[in-house]
Amino acid sequence: ETGVTQTPRHLVMGMTNKKSLKCEQHLGHNAMYWYKQSAKKPLELMFVYSLEERVENNSVPSRFSPECPNSSHLFLHLHTLQPEDSALYLCASSQKAYYEQYFGPGTRLTVT
Amino acid sequence: AQSVTQLDSHVSVSEGTPVLLRCNYSSSYSPSLFWYVQHPNKGLQLLLKYTSAATLVKGINGFEAEFKKSETSFHLTKPSAHMSDAAEYFCVGGNTGFQKLVFGTGTRLLVSP
């Protein structure tokens, strides 16, 4: 595997389910990010991790819970989501501050 | 504070004609600027980046962008559009915040035969 990978690519879940999104980067980077991309809205930064420590949490509801066990892996745990949480969730990584970010293909999440 | 404005939400061109996607930025500091492309149901792919080394930046797939400080612009161009260029393009700026990028709202490029 190369670059940034995300699994699953598609996920349909009910509002009472618990699921997790996984991201893995194979680039040796030190920072990882979660973004939410909704239709007709700008890309929203959700969380930033640097060297496994969360450095930013942009007022994201607690039903989204990130986890970064090491610098190569990032998870987004989901529980009791709402239909408006349906979106494309993108993971990215970067070498250091202000450097370009490399994105995974995204997970298309649908909440029913 | 940094902001990035993409001036067109949609741009339509014919195959073989030039492409111009416009981006203006505002920043208190010398910015880092990027262009990303997103094909349907895919992640964002880096096209090119400006980090003050050279004002004319060449990227992948024949795209290039010129940083013009006097105009605070970073427009993306390509001499001849291909059908495969049809996608959404994002202009992105480096913020003064820690590892935070500021994304434009995107320009959808439509290429007709």
pLDDT in the model for residue A102: 92
Residue closest to B89 by CA, chosen among B38, B33, B14: B38
CB contact under 8 A, A96 and B99: yes
Residue closest to B93 by CA, chosen among B61, B53, B49, B57: B49
* C-alpha span between B50 and B84 (Å, rounded): 24
* pLDDT surpassing 80 at residue B39: yes
Tokens of A37: 């991309």
Percent of chain B whose pLDDT exceeds 70: 92
Give how far the C-alpha of residue A13 lies from the chain's centroid of Cα atoms, to the nearest Å: 16
pLDDT in the model for residue A16: 86
* B40 touching chain A per CB within 8 A: no
User: pLDDT tens string for chain A (112 positions)?
Assistant: 579 999 999 999 988 889 999 999 999 998 899 999 998 788 888 998 887 777 777 789 999 999 999 989 999 999 999 999 999 999 999 887 557 889 999 999 999 9
pLDDT in the model for residue B40: 86
pLDDT in the model for residue A96: 73
Backbone φ and ψ for A79, nearest 5 degrees, come out as: -155, 145
Chain B residues in contact with A56 (beta carbon < 8 A): 98-100
pLDDT in the model for residue A66: 93
Of the partner residues A45, A98, A103, the one whose CB lies closest to the CB of residue B94: A98
